[in-house]
């Protein structure tokens, strides 16, 4: 008897690749492995740029694996490949900028009880029980970006704030959302997801959060 398995959506495929690559670099960087340290430095310098402007980075990312992948049960189209590459590059370079000079990993998976989506990360930057209006407006501006280049720059600004305050982010989730953002109707869907993430974060005892993350 065989069991049918639902095909993996392309955005989840992109998220899985991002987690694989970023997770490997992050482990290497934290343990001071020279190749990972050098990779992070190269990626960080290109944060906020489009794939067309950073051809020299593609030796760090396994494009052959992406081109051979199957999303939604079929090979990716040329358009899907280009959009997946843009999403992966943006997520990887933003992670590298965020990870700079940090001894602990800044890529943490989103999970129930400890949300790590973009909205939740921004909310964690705000004082307990308060809404920082200037920061909220910055977050809203990122959501309202009209093109990928503008979105990249606005996310870069937010990531610098996350780095300053040692707030982690799920970069695999972000990569999948950046892919969705480029698809028909995707902008509105991603903005809604970021909004839900923002409102999903709830204050809780910091010790409890640390204990949960220590078991992940």
pLDDT of residue 206 exceeding 50, the answer is no
Q: Which domains does the chain have, with CATH numbers?
A: 10-214 (1.10.520.40)
Work out the pLDDT band at 26, boundaries 50, 70, 90.
very high
For residues 188 and 52, the model is more confident at 188
Q: What percent of the chain has pLDDT over 90?
A: 62
| Token couple for 176 | 């999948």
Res 4: pLDDT = 53
Label each residue of the chain as H, E or C: CCCCCCCCCHHHHHHHHHHHHHHHHHHHHHCCCHHHHHHHHHHHHCCCCCHHHCHHHCCCCCHHHHHCCEECCEECCHHHHHHHHHHHHHHHHHHHHHHCCCCCCCECCCECCECCCHHHHHHHCCCCCCCCHHHHHHHHHHHCCCCHHHHHHHHHHHHHHHHHCCCCECHHHHHHHHHHHCCCCHHHHHHHHHHHHHHHCCCCCHHHHHHHHHCC
pLDDT of residue 46 exceeding 50, the answer is yes
Res 8: pLDDT = 82
Q: What percent of the chain has pLDDT over 70?
A: 85
pLDDT of residue 1 exceeding 70, the answer is no
pLDDT of residue 205 exceeding 50, the answer is no
Res 214: pLDDT = 52
Tell me: the pLDDT tens digits for 62-111? Answer: 767 777 777 666 788 889 988 998 999 999 999 999 999 999 999 999 88
Res 3: pLDDT = 47
Work out the pLDDT band at 129, boundaries 50, 70, 90.
confident
pLDDT of residue 116 exceeding 60, the answer is yes
Res 155: pLDDT = 96
């Amino acid at each position: 008897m065989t069991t049918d398995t639902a095909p993996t959506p392309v955005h989840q495929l992109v998220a899985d690749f991002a987690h694989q690559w970023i997770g490997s670099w992050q482990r290497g960087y934290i343990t001071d492995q020279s190749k990972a340290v050098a990779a992070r430095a190269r990626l960080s310098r290109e944060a906020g740029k489009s794939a067309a402007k950073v051809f020299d980075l593609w030796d760090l990312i396994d494009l052959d694996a992406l081109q051979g992948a199957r999303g939604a049960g079929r090979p990716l189209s040329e358009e899907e490949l280009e959009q997946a590459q843009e999403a992966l590059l943006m997520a990887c370079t933003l992670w590298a900028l965020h990870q700079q000079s940090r001894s602990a990993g800044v890529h943490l998976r989103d999970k129930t009880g400890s949300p790590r989506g973009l909205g939740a990360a921004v909310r964690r930057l705000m004082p307990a029980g308060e809404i920082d209006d200037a920061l909220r407006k910055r977050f809203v501006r990122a959501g309202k970006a009209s093109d990928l280049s503008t979105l990249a720059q606005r996310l870069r600004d937010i990531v610098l704030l996350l780095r300053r305050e040692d707030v982690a982010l799920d970069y695999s989730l972000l990569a999948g959302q950046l892919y969705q953002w480029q698809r028909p109707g995707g902008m509105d869907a991603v903005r809604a997801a970021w909004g839900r993430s923002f409102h999903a974060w709830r204050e809780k005892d910091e010790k409890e959060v640390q204990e949960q993350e220590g078991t992940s």
